Chain A
Amino acid sequence: MVDSGFGEDEVVQDFIVESQEHLSDIESELLQIEEGGENIDSDLVNRVFRAIHSIKGAAGFLGFHVINDLAHNLENILGLIRTEELIPNSYIVDVMLKAADTLKSLVSDVEGSNDEDISEHIEALKKILEGETQEGSAENLETLVDVEIPDLDFPMEFEVTKHQLEQAEAMGNSLFLVKLDLFEDYQLQGKNLMDLVKDLLEVGEILDSGADLSSVELETGIESPKMGFFAILSTQKGREEIAENWGLPLDRVLPVPSSMADSLGIGEGSKLSQEPKDMAPDVHSEKPENVNSLGHAVKPEETGETPGCESPASAGQGMTQVTSEIAEKPPTEKPPTKTKEPQLTQPKNPTESKKGTGKNQRKTSQPKKTVESNIRVNVGLLDLLMNLAGELVLVRNQLTQSISNNQLDALGAIGGRLDQVTSQLQDAIMKTRMQAIGTVFNKFPRVVRDLSQKLGKKCQLEVQGKDVELDKTIIEAISDPLTHLVRNSVDHGIEAPLARIDKGKPEVGTIQLKAFHQSGKVMIEIRDDGKGIDAEVLKEKALEKGLFDPVQIAAMSDRDAVNLIFHPGFSTAENVTDVSGRGVGMDVVRTNFDKLGASIEIETVVGGGTTIQISLPLTLAIMAALVVECAGQAFSIPQVNIRELVRIKASDIDGRIDSVNGAEVLKMRGQLLPLIRLKDALHMESQDLDDSSDQAINIVVVESGMTRYGLLVDNLVDYEEIVVKPLGRHMKDRIELAGATILGDGEISMILDVSGLAQKQGLAVIDQEAFHGSEEGGPETNSDQETLILFENEDKETFAVPMTLVSRIERIPSEEIDMVGGKELYHYHGQALPLLSLDRLISSNPRVSQDTYYIGVFSVGGVELGLIIPKLLDIRDFSLVLDEGFREKGVLGSFVHEGGTVRILDLFEIAELENPDWGLKAEATSQGVDMDKQILLLVEDSDFFRKRVAEFLEESGYEVLTAEDGAVGWELFQQRHNEISVVITDIEMPVMDGFELTSHIKGNETYKDKPVIALTSLASEENQAKGVAVGVDAYLIKLDKEQILATIKKFCYQTVGV
């Protein structure tokens, strides 16, 4: 044990934390250094140097001499690299990486560190310092191998060093003996000896050469004296090619026989003497995976069967043993020169293994000093926390004061403030737990590098989104399963280089690792361009293993089949390799992710690659959920799983809910959605007897991974931020319950696990393709359908707003609505949201005051406004036959629905009514155009939108031509393209969509300068990118009048200018 420093636990603790921090990045930095090669990035090297240097210093101070020693040697090498005296190559970096690994493990167990044996690393590092920059070079440079050429017609001995052979092998070269006649081939042709050397070097590297002077006949009178010259060349070239070089007959270029290779311990797999050109197709057709380059036989299947390299099953392993054997030899023992049979393939030194177990015993007998887990918090965030804590104290003071003074009327305001401070505090504290996913991603370059080296594959890793933050617990929990997936991609996904070239893919496989935010979740994507997963193979295997019966297999979709890899007891590798095998299957990966509430999806193209997408919650502890009621009990459904809420009126139930062979389904927009009645699924007894038929029903459409279904509940209660509490062990088998939470009133609500519930109810995975198929064929594309938000002001007055115009719907308590100068405002995300109340703006009955209101948020000219929706009825599709009899400012018209009249609102006019400025802005931009009537072509399939857009464009002084789909629009455009200034097109249209129309226009020399504005509700990045790709000039969201007018104006000026 160490004598000094242990009194000061804190100092040691600090040292550990600091060193770990230093070491955390070192791996990726070393890899960067390797990548840089000769172009040494001095900043980078300096950074690593300083990190190691400070570890060295502190370790020395604290008496951890082993750590100190290792760091010192590592530092020396970095010093050389820094001064560019040493060019880092993959061998040097390898040694450094291994040393850094050991340093890491030493640091995590500082107390035991001084008993660890690090001589191997020290030696390797010292050798590099002494100039040995290649694997095992020093010894190998001296070790000579006899080269015997059997058919040689003269006695000749060649000497080649082992190192040279290894080099040749590593570079995929072949060895040839070339017999030349100096007299005939050179002197007679007027060439000198320099030409000889030049010619030889042109072919390859000269390993050894010699002249056969005995053959020289000095007697005069003989016309062609012979002077034999022999050279052993290491070359990429084939036998014929070499012969051609000198115009020699083939028998004067002899392959060096494999007996020599045998002496090196290279097994059967090696074909050192064979020409690479012949070998490639031959070997390839047999076992394409096994040989990647000359002699480098790597059999992934076999490595697992021969653990510990006990038999020299493959040359690759034989070679690694060469080096390790040599490294173990004490330096005093001189390597034997001219060994014909170096004992390279022996199992590892027995003393080595003894040493190993001894080490382990020591470790177990000494309990590790546990390192407290620390977390770094941004100072700004800490300040914010302090401020919030201060505010909390203030609120408490106010509260106690008003209670003691009996000022009960002030309590409401204090409660509001308390609510605000608490939620801010909660946010800030959650933020302290957030960590960048880079901490996990950073280890993957090394994983990929090491693994691909081991498997003889070539892979590059592209990492994106390192900055994406996740809760600490999640970061910790995803590390192992992610590693497994990445290893899988290298092991099973990416093919061997030869196989890749054969398939016309780049030799180097690419693995992309990407993290990004999507709809409140963090997505992690692992994409490889490897061989993909063959569903048929999986099916066969499942059948073979008896996991399913033939009928089930036959009925399985490809998607289901691919998901078989998650089935327990299923491994895709032919044989479990030591790489991704280890008894850990994909089922464990799945379970690990499931525990985090993450879903995992696989997309694969046979021969094209595999993409695995994992969606993770940001944090585990708190989530948004919808509280619903069922049989008098409250249940929470995580909001991330909720797609939409459907309320079906009693009179519509028969039409919307049907059953297929006893299974209930909900008809929604032409699709059939399986329906689960929560009450039945949980075997709850109904509380009210008169349920069913005469009441409207609520269905929560939920989705998790590939499953989507409707969940029928009694009542929707509220959206709440819930704190997830675990359930006890007695409930651990309840897959349909994700936990519990305590609601505001202290009552406990079970959190439903959407996928577990589906599983319990035996819902099959929905085939997304079939799903989309039905969507396309269904009434969704019917041009007259509009999705409207239906709401009531007073019982008799029903209104509708087009869903596409509303960015979101919020629910707010009425007490939080402030009156400012006769206008209503709602403070929200630190901004005031002006509220519009219909009764003040159009002829309608006064609003009845309620506790809470829904507000539909939309924007006009960049200003967000909220329309008060007193009573939300439904969001659904309507076939619109608009009656304009009700037309007034703010109302577009009306239609008849369920015997009542529904007025459709014009949100932009309503905004204008509330504040003429909002409308004026829009008008100002349109009236500013002073020119001849510009003609616009408007292509839009929805009658409703076509009329609206045409109307306001005409009002703004344009002439509008309309077409109801891309094909009609294209006709019209071709006829009148001279007159048309700007094309405005929808994207989603029957017959010909907007993208196609645009590419028609942009693909034509005459038309390509015509501006095309895409007008759509599809604002996804993907669509935008596609739009840009086909040449859309502007991409606008339906239906921001002001923006549309401004954009049209801009383009009109452009065309006028042209």
Chain B
Amino acid sequence: MVHETTVEQSLQLVTFLVGDHYLGIPLQGVQEINRSLLMTPVPDSSRIVSGVMNLRGEVVTVLDLKFILFGEKTEIGEDTRNIVVNVQSERVGVLVDRIVDVVNVDRDRMDDLPPNLEKSGRQFFMGVFQTKKGLLTMFEIDAAVRESEGLEV
């Protein structure tokens, strides 16, 4: 019995850095993590959209996660990665500054967001886990992708 509950409560998160924020999203929604950052810019588009990429014959929009969450533009560097997630049956890529790890967390041990958290991006954050590498914030990638559609930038 005890074993079963831990299985149910355990959650695998893909963790990464966006700026100096340590963030995680459930592994389940992640289709792949891509090194290829060959993107075609979409002229005159909102700054949330970094561009579009050719993912094995499919044109996939790549979003600037840092811009969605914190209003800053991602500088593409050595460690920048593209996490491809599936949101409402559309594949979308999000840029992160660096992939950290895949970690197991216990859903029960998620702490509430500190009330003094900055406003920006707050609506997408779900809670905080205390890990060895520091405080890991889990956020809802679906909502971030979905709602960024209408964001006026």
Contacts and interface: CB of A to CB of B under 8 A. Distances in A.
Nearest to B41: A633
Most buried by A among B43, B52, B58, B90: B43
A730 B148 contact: yes
A477 interface: no
Interface stretch (B25-33, B59-67, B71-79): B59-67
A634 to B, nearest CB: 8
Given A730-B49, A731-B61, A750 B44 contact: no
A732 B149 CA distance: 9
B59 A726 contact: yes
A742 B53 CA distance: 9
B113 interface: no
B5 interface: no
Nearest to A685: B43
A740 B148 CA distance: 21
Contacts of A443: none
B46 interface: yes
Interface in A716-761: 725-732, 734, 737, 739-742, 746-750
B43 A684 contact: yes
A682 interface: yes
Contact of B54 (A631, A684, A731, A742): A742
Interface string B10-53: 00000000000000000000000000000011111110110011
Contact of B63 (A725, A727, A730, A747): A730
Contact of A742 (B43, B48, B57, B148): B57
Given A742-B57, A747-B54, A748-B59, A730 B43 contact: no
Contacts of A376: none
Given A730-B48, A730-B61, A742-B57, A750 B42 contact: yes
A742 to B, nearest CB: 5
A748 B61 contact: no
A38 B116 CA distance: 87
Interface residues of B, number: 22
B43 A683 contact: yes
B43 A729 contact: no
Contacts of B61: 727-731
Nearest to B60: A728
B92 interface: yes
Nearest to B146: A729
Interface string A691-732: 000000000000000000000000000000000011111111
Nearest to B40: A748
A839 B49 CA distance: 54
Contact of A684 (B44, B52, B59): B44
A1000 B74 CA distance: 77
A741 B40 CA distance: 11
B63 A682 contact: no
Contacts of A732: 149
Interface residues of A, number: 24
Contacts of B63: 730
A749 B61 CA distance: 13
A726 B60 CA distance: 9
B89 to A, nearest CB: 11
Nearest to B148: A730
B45 A748 contact: no
B48 to A, nearest CB: 7
Given A740-B59, A742-B57, A742-B59, A731 B49 contact: yes
B99 to A, nearest CB: 23
Most buried by B among A633, A730, A732, A749: A730
B43 A727 contact: no
A748 B43 contact: no
A750 B51 CA distance: 11
A725 B49 contact: no
Contacts of A684: 43-44
Given A633-B40, A746-B54, A728 B92 contact: yes
Contacts of A747: 40, 54
B45 A734 contact: yes
B44 A730 contact: no
A727 B52 contact: yes
A443 B58 CA distance: 37
Nearest to A748: B40
Contacts of A750: 40, 42-43
A633 B54 contact: no
B149 A730 contact: yes
B44 A728 contact: no
A738 to B, nearest CB: 12
Contacts of A725: 58-59
B95 to A, nearest CB: 14
A729 B92 CA distance: 9
A513 to B, nearest CB: 37
Contacts of A746: 54
Contacts of B49: 730-731
A631 B40 CA distance: 12
A748 B48 contact: no
A167 to B, nearest CB: 60
Interface string A850-887: 00000000000000000000000000000000000000
A727 B91 CA distance: 11
Nearest to A728: B61
A746 B56 CA distance: 9
Contact of B52 (A631, A683, A748): A748
A731 B45 contact: yes
Interface in B131-153: 148-149
Nearest to A683: B44
Most buried by B among A731, A740, A748: A748
A728 B90 contact: yes
Contact of A731 (B41, B42, B148): B42
Contacts of A737: 42
A732 B90 CA distance: 13
Contacts of B60: 728
B52 A729 contact: no
A217 to B, nearest CB: 97
Contacts of B52: 727-728, 740, 748
Nearest to B93: A728
A94 to B, nearest CB: 45
A729 B43 CA distance: 16
Nearest to A734: B45
Contacts of A740: 52, 59
Interface string A143-160: 000000000000000000
A746 B53 CA distance: 10
B150 to A, nearest CB: 9
B59 A727 contact: yes
Contacts of B90: 728-729
A730 B67 CA distance: 14
B92 A748 contact: no
A99 B43 CA distance: 57
Contacts of A739: 59
A962 B65 CA distance: 76
Contacts of B59: 725-728, 739-742, 748
Contact of B149 (A726, A729, A734): A729
Nearest to A679: B43
A1043 B21 CA distance: 80
Interface in A111-138: none
A648 B42 CA distance: 28
A55 B52 CA distance: 52
Contacts of B57: 742
18 contacts: A631-B43, A633-B43, A682-B44, A683-B44, A725-B59, A728-B92, A730-B61, A730-B63, A730-B92, A730-B149, A731-B61, A734-B42, A737-B42, A741-B59, A746-B54, A748-B40, A748-B59, A750-B43
Interface of A: 631, 633, 682-684, 725-732, 734, 737, 739-742, 746-750
* Top 4 A-B residue pairs of the complex, sorted by shortest distance between their CB atoms: A728-B61, A682-B43, A748-B40, A725-B59
Given A727-B59, A748-B40, A748-B52, 8 more contacts: A682-B43, A683-B44, A727-B61, A728-B92, A730-B63, A731-B61, A742-B54, A746-B54
